Amino acid sequence: MKLLKSILILFTIVSCSMHAQQISQWRGVNRDGMYDEKQLLKTWPETGPALLWSNETIGDGYGSPVVSSDMLFVNGEIDSISHLFAFDLNGKLLWKSPNGKEYTGKGYSNKFPGARSTPTLVNDLVYVSSGNGRIACFEKQTGKEKWATAMIEDMNGHMNTFGFSESLMVDENNVYCFPGGVTNNAVALNRFTGKTVWTSKALSDTVSYCSPFIINLPARKVLVTFTVHYIMGLDTKTGELLWSQKQDNVKYQQQCNVPIFADGCIYYVAGDGNGAVKLELSSDGKNIKEVWRNGMILNNFSGFLKINDYIYSTDRTQKLKCLDTKTGQTIDSLKLNKGAIIAADGMLYCYSENGEVNLIKTSGSKMESVGKFKIEKGTREHFAHPVISKGVLYIRHGKVLMAYNVKEG
The whole-number pLDDT of residue 19 equals: 43
pLDDT for the residue 106 = 85
What is the total residue count of the chain?
409
Q: What pLDDT digit, counting tens, does each position of 295-313 carry?
A: 999 999 999 999 999 999 9
Please return the burial class of 36, using the count of CB atoms within 10 Å of its CB with bins 0-12, 13-18 and 19+: exposed
Task: Determine the pLDDT at residue 2.
Answer: 42
- In this predicted structure, the answer to whether residue 28 has a pLDDT above a threshold of 60 is yes
Categorize the per-residue pLDDT at 190 as very low, low, confident or very high, splitting at 50, 70 and 90.
very high
CA-CA distance, 307 to 108, in Å (whole number)?
37
What is the per-residue pLDDT for 20? 64
Instruction: Classify residue 262 by burial, with Cβ atoms within 10 Å: 0-12, 13-18, 19+.
Output: middle
Residue 74: closest CA among 167, 210, 10: 167
Tens digits of residue pLDDT in 35-84: 999 999 999 999 999 999 999 999 999 999 999 999 999 999 999 999 99
pLDDT value, residue 253: 86
- For residue 247, pLDDT over 60 is answered with yes
Domain boundaries in the chain?
Answer: 25-405
User: Are residues 74 and 83 in contact, defined by beta-carbon separation less than 8 angstroms?
Assistant: no
pLDDT (mean) for 215-233: 97
Its CATH architecture, for the domain 25-405, is: 7 Propeller (2.130)
pLDDT for 12 beyond 80: no
**Taking a C-beta distance cutoff of 8 angstroms, is the pair 344, 364 a contact?**
no
The amino acid sitting at 381 is: E
- 21-25, 155-159, 214-218, 377-381: least confident range: 21-25
Q: What percent of the chain has pLDDT over 70?
A: 95
CB 133 within 8 A of CB 150: yes
Mean pLDDT in residue range 154-163: 94
pLDDT tens, residue by residue, 318-355:
999 999 999 999 999 999 999 999 999 999 999 999 99
Structure pTM? 0.94
User: Once rounded to an integer, what is the mean pLDDT over residues 101-126?
Assistant: 93
The pLDDT mean for the chain works out to 94
Residue 1 has pLDDT above 70, yes or no: no
Of 42-56, 97-111, 118-132, the one with minimum mean pLDDT is: 97-111
CA distance 328 to 322: 9
Residue 175 has pLDDT above 80, yes or no: yes
